[in-house]
Every structure is written in structure tokens, then in C-alpha cells.
Chains A and B, each alone.
Chain A
């Protein structure tokens, strides 16, 4: 007997997370590219890959709750010429499977693409086991692995199409599926033509500024744009915004150029531990270039994220537009 449900009720199997477009984009790509297969570890409804399964059931493999096996099966598939996309929570992809990513994907140079979704603390009150605030730091030293963090549906679409043929594995760090539109037609605050400007391997300058430049990726890009617009509206400081979606290989030349042209320095805003993330990578590249900063940081201050709804946690860590605005104001006030 069918239950009578309150219209507000919802279930994971029927709900749609609008920016989880990987399943449908890959489904589209697969019609012209028979190498593409998709694997998941009992999360096809969490990450939308059932969109792919419905069209290409014979090219979809749900391996159950067995992430190690999923990574290495994908490696074996790649060794016989397929291009597998594996999908699971970022915490399980990077932390559970670090060894498989290093030894089975990156070391032998397998063309496996990892859809690491619900990254950062976007799973909020599900707790630390489900957070990935260490993944970028853990994976950056793995030679031969590319790391890219598209911030919305349009850039995820671009990312999937642009990286299908690059050598070696790609870790694609994506959010919780309800990501603010930055690059799409309705992308509030994005500079004109930004979607076309999204290029794997380069930073994308979303907004020019003459005093300070904020480097963001993933969930911090949209609030950073809002904060930069607010800063210019109040006329106190001119803030540029760069989406550093490609975390490896890092576009160090462009970052050094931005540092040289930003008298108030760079501000890195990331949904990641400040240890080992983009801020650390930028510090490396500035010092190597002989620049001393200033380099400002917003992120998780080397601690475990408390329980809370994601939007509350972004506010807690000053990674929402108000928090980033406040940090910009502090930097401007210090001069």
C-alpha cells in the first residue's frame, strides 16, 4: 500500500541535485566515445550517475560499498583501453583510496577520472568521516595526478569534456550538487564570457581588481565574487577574483603575476584545511619566485569541522560572502 506522504517529504532516490551533471554529461559524451564507463560505490543516487546508468546500463558498474576495489577495477579497465569515471564521496575517494590512487592509477599512468563529490564539509552534520578537508593536501604530492575543482554545473561540464583525453588520472573535486551558478547563463557576478574562458590547467580570472586578488576554488568562488562586487560598490578597495580550479598542475606563472599586480597581496579562500591546500601551494610558488607576500588565508584552521548545516559552517569559517567581505575589509584597513 502506498504511503500518503506530506508533499514536502523527499527521498534521495527521487530528489535532484541540479549541479550534479556528471551523469548526464558523461552520458552525452559516451554516445560518441565508447571508451567511457562509469563506476560507483553504492552512491548513484547521491551523485546523479544513475543518469548515466539509465542510458548505458552495460557501461555502468555499481561495485557496492567497496571503494578500494572500485579504484583498482577502474585501473584494470583503463589498462585495456577504457576511460573509467569512478564516483564516491571525496572523503572516501581521497582518504580511503589514497594508496590505490597513488599505486594503481597515478604510478602506472591510468586514464581514470575520479568524481569526488560532497567535498570539503558540504556534508555538514554528517560529520568528520564524511568531510574531506584534507584531500587536496594529501593528493598534491602524487606525481602524475591532476587535481581539478570545478565550482558549478557549467564548469563541471567543461572540465569533463576538456580532461577526457589527458594523460594519467584526474581527481575531480566537486561540491554537494546545489552549487551556485558562476559560469552559466545566469551566473550572477561572473564576467562576460567566463564559461568560454574556463580552461583546464589555467586559472580563470573572473573579475579584475587593482588592490587585492582573491584566489578561490569550488564552493568559495561564488561568495568571493559577491564579496568582490560588494567591495567595489562601497568603493573602498578594488578586488580581483581568480578561480584556481586546476590545483595541479598549478598555473604558477599566472599566480605570480597576480601577486605582483596586487599591492594588498593575495587572499586564498578555500573549503579545506589551511595546511596543505591551495594556500600552501601558493606560498610555495610565491617563495620560489622570490616574492614574500602578503598572503592572507581563509580556510579550516587545522581542526575537525564541527557538526552543523553547511551554510552555517561556511559562516562559521568566514567562507560565505559576508565572511570574505569582512576579511577583505580587514586587509584593506591594514593597508
Chain B
């Protein structure tokens, strides 16, 4: 059963750990993780079929981090699932540590595919879904976390066409629609809307949800995709989100795609995040 308070608490954990890890690296993608924190929490703590300590379980659900720069928010979750030792987090991005800004599947158990180049993940997920069907792994669902800015990449739309053509029912994309890419509002940089119509016209079934209501995200994702057993249209959940969600000055400035918080600001941010996750309803404030 979905536990909204638990999911909100885990989203807070993801944000706080992101601040801690980026403090080690001295640069990182705070606001891109903050917009996706409830999505990550919903996937790992409600939706996906996983086995603790068994990152290679063949029948697990897969997650492709197409917006690979969200990885810093996923690594603490992998440790929480006993996929990687917790102490590895402490050496984030340091020479000899496997955890980089973009994830490497060869060195990090629990990462289902390496990423970093935007626009590739939907193709990876489609390949996984088709392979799962061919291999008879019909319970396996493949989730792809897409950023909105990366939808500028044409390969997404090649994959979108192909997923509908091959009736990849085991594939579910979740779009972190935080409205911002590095250079500004996506509608100013290169307009994406109308996104719902675009995906529908490509043959996908579309669900729209408040991306900061983790329980609603979980419900939408679980309802969207049952598995690959019966071929049918692929699914996308468009999660409306706020870049930098949870930290007032990040939400207001939109300048925090990449950066570092010096100690005083770091502590201020952690205080706000701690207060926020202590009151799950504050997420909607």
C-alpha cells in the first residue's frame, strides 16, 4: 500500500543526501534532483519490483536514468537498498570512487544503464522492454526518467515512434517536466509544448500528474504499466514539477541547474529541507 508520508520523507532524504554529496564534489545538479525527488521516491519506494541486496535479479523492474545528471540523488537510494555500500557515498566523485555525476552501470550495482548523453535513454528502455518480452520476462517493466530539456534531442522521437510501432507495453516513461534547461525556460530556449498532444500523436498513452505529490506519482506509474505480457501502446507519465523544489531561493531564481553551496548556504538549505520533510504537507505549500 502506498504510504504518502513515507514517500515524502524519502523525497526529503534524497534532497538532503544530494546536498551532502555535492558538498564533497564542490559542484553538482541540485535543482535537477530536487524536481525529481518525489519521482525517484515513488519509483524506488512504491512502484518498482526490486529485491534488497540483489541488484542483478533478472526479473527486477528496470530504471533508465535518461537525465543522467539526476544520479547524485539516486546513489543514496541504491545504498538504502543495499545495492552499494553506504560508505561509498562518502567518496562521491573522488578518484577511485565509482560514483560520478553521470552513472556508470559497470561500476555501480543497481544502475541499469550508463547515461550522460541526453536523448538516449528512451531508446535504451525500448530495447530493454523488447528484450524482456522476447526472453519471456513478461513481469518486467521498464521505466525511463526523462528530463524535459532533453526532449529537444531528436533520438527521443525516433524512439517514441518505434515504441508505439512495436507496441512496447512494458515501457513507461516518466517526464520530469520542470520547465527549465540550462539556458532558461524550455519554452524560450526551444518550445516543447504541446507535450501531451505530441506524445498522444506518437501513439503513446499519456497521464499527467503533480510531480511533487509522490503518492500521486506512484499511483500514476503503477496504473500506467502492467508489464509486457500483452503488446499495446507505451505509456508516459508527465510529472509537472518545479526546478529546485524544496529550497525557496532555488525555486525563485532558477539559476541552480549547476552550482555549489558554500557552508552557510548549505546549512540554510539543509534547515529548510529538514523542516519541509518533517511536514509532508509543506511539499504542497
Which A residues lie at the B interface, using CB under 8 A? Answer: 37, 58-59, 61, 63-64, 66, 68-69, 71-82, 84, 99-100, 103-104, 107-109
Contact between B128 and A107 (Cβ–Cβ < 8 Å)? Answer: no
In the complex formed, the residue of B with least CB distance to A103 is B117
Contacts of A79 in B (CB 8 A): 62, 105, 112-113, 124, 127-128, 131
Contact between B166 and A61 (Cβ–Cβ < 8 Å)? Answer: yes
Interface presence of B43 (CB below 8 A): no
Q: Complex: how many Å from CA A325 to CA B127?
A: 49
Residues in B98-143 with C-beta less than 8 Å from chain A: 104-106, 112-114, 116-117, 120, 123-132, 134-135, 137, 140
Contacts of B112 in A (CB 8 A): 79
Interface string of B13-57 (1 = CB under 8 A from A): 000000000000000000000000000000000000000000000
B123 → chain A closest CB, angstroms: 3
Q: Complex: how many Å from CA A109 to CA B107?
A: 12
Contact between B127 and A74 (Cβ–Cβ < 8 Å)? Answer: yes
Q: Complex: how many Å from CA A46 to CA B154?
A: 25
Q: Complex: how many Å from CA A260 to CA B104?
A: 43
Contact between A59 and B134 (Cβ–Cβ < 8 Å)? Answer: yes
Which 7 A/B pairs are nearest by Cβ-Cβ distance?
A76-B127, A72-B123, A69-B158, A80-B131, A66-B158, A73-B127, A76-B124
Q: Complex: how many Å from CA A64 to CA B161?
A: 10
Number of B residues near A (Cβ < 8 Å) is 34
* Interface residues of A, dominant DSSP: helix
18 contacts between A and B (CB under 8 A): A37-B134, A58-B134, A64-B158, A64-B165, A68-B155, A71-B123, A72-B123, A73-B126, A76-B125, A76-B126, A76-B128, A79-B113, A80-B127, A81-B131, A82-B135, A103-B116, A103-B117, A104-B120
Given contacts A100-B120, A103-B114, A104-B124, contact A77 B130 (CB under 8 A): yes
Contacts of B135 in A (CB 8 A): 80-82
Interface presence of B162 (CB below 8 A): yes
Contact between A75 and B127 (Cβ–Cβ < 8 Å)? Answer: yes
In the complex formed, the residue of B with least CB distance to A76 is B127
Contacts of B128 in A (CB 8 A): 76-77, 79-80
Contacts of A59 in B (CB 8 A): 134
A62 → chain B closest CB, angstroms: 9
Q: Complex: how many Å from CA A104 to CA B158?
A: 16
Interface string of B139-170 (1 = CB under 8 A from A): 01000000000000011001101100110000
A56 → chain B closest CB, angstroms: 11
Contact between B124 and A69 (Cβ–Cβ < 8 Å)? Answer: no
In the complex formed, the residue of A with least CB distance to B166 is A61
Contact between B162 and A77 (Cβ–Cβ < 8 Å)? Answer: no
One of B58, B124, B129, B137 near A75 (C-beta < 8 A): B124
Contact between A76 and B158 (Cβ–Cβ < 8 Å)? Answer: no
Contact between B106 and A108 (Cβ–Cβ < 8 Å)? Answer: yes
One of A73, A81, A82, A107 near B123 (C-beta < 8 A): A73
